A and B are shown apart, each in its own frame.
Chain A
């Protein structure tokens, strides 16, 4: 018999793995970024946003696969953003196994907000 607590602990361990994976990807991209562009001047005084391909899921994945340093960093950030979303998905499953309809619905509402922000925000 698996208890709530054990489910929670395994989710938390998965979350930490997700964060470490994200950090590793960001670090890899970061090393490439500093190696290639480290000598250029840093300019963050004026806000001009990011190029279009770094603003969408598809664009980030495309850039990362083509080996762009900023694309790889941004992919790591996406992995990171996905960790709490994964936690909510696991919670839906956990509540469903307990046949707690009210909490399945609540968790789905939270999940919809998260997906809305990521996909159509």
Chain B
């Protein structure tokens, strides 16, 4: 295959991945990496490098829309970024050392878990819980707009949430994904934050987390210009398109279709890792 044809195919695939990623809230990375490594036979280290770059692009590109809504909490985000960035360093170092089959296997398992959470309705977080002294001291609280007017909230379960964020960062650095799903889980389930606050704060954190691995990827030669170029441009364009459609479309059926696609990719990924083909 010539470079021109390869670039065109990768761009179209990345466009679709970015579009679906925005519609389902999972991000483009979870589709881009299997697409490149399974369908096009790209070494998984090049694939995660290109995917990570596209993750930064979508996060920073969407920031304006999220901030305007007034849900994201910059203090909670920054506090938890201490965990995600250290995790990302660890993950990126692991990516440079682990055999590709191991990375593929972890990727497959993470895909399966993501599919489960993406097909589920967003659970209700219980807003009323006793005041948490640690959260109060760290100022992990805020107010957000609801149809019933402004509501205040406060975090709880800070150590658990912080620990999960370290894990989310490590997965991001190891697999070149945003791990937005795990970040949201840490915030709305472990820390009891409102779902809207969790998703928008997560988006804000994804770019910073990914930037922490990017330097290591760069110095280890994971960032291939010829591959990262169509992936970044495709995912960015696709996610911008997806964000527009999202406002109008009912996403329930899309979520289910997407979850099935991810399950298929996950099984393929795990199977190929066992066979030593990744």
Contact = CB atoms under 8 A, between A and B. Distances in A.
Contacts of A39: 2-4
B206 to A, nearest CB: 9
Contact of A117 (B3, B70, B92, B226): B92
Contacts, number: 209
B78 A121 contact: no
A55 B3 CA distance: 22
Interface residues of B, number: 66
A55 B218 contact: yes
Contacts of A44: 36, 40-43, 46, 224, 227
A61 interface: no
Nearest to A41: B2
B220 A33 contact: no
Contacts of A91: 74, 78
Contact of B220 (A13, A49, A106): A49
5 contacts: A16-B63, A77-B218, A81-B215, A84-B60, A113-B212
Interface string B60-101: 110110111010101100110110011011001000000010
Given A33-B229, A37-B3, A50-B221, A15 B60 contact: yes
Q: Which 6 A-B residue pairs are closest in the complex by CB-CB distance?
A: A49-B221, A117-B215, A38-B4, A118-B215, A42-B6, A50-B221
Contact of A9 (B67, B86, B138): B67
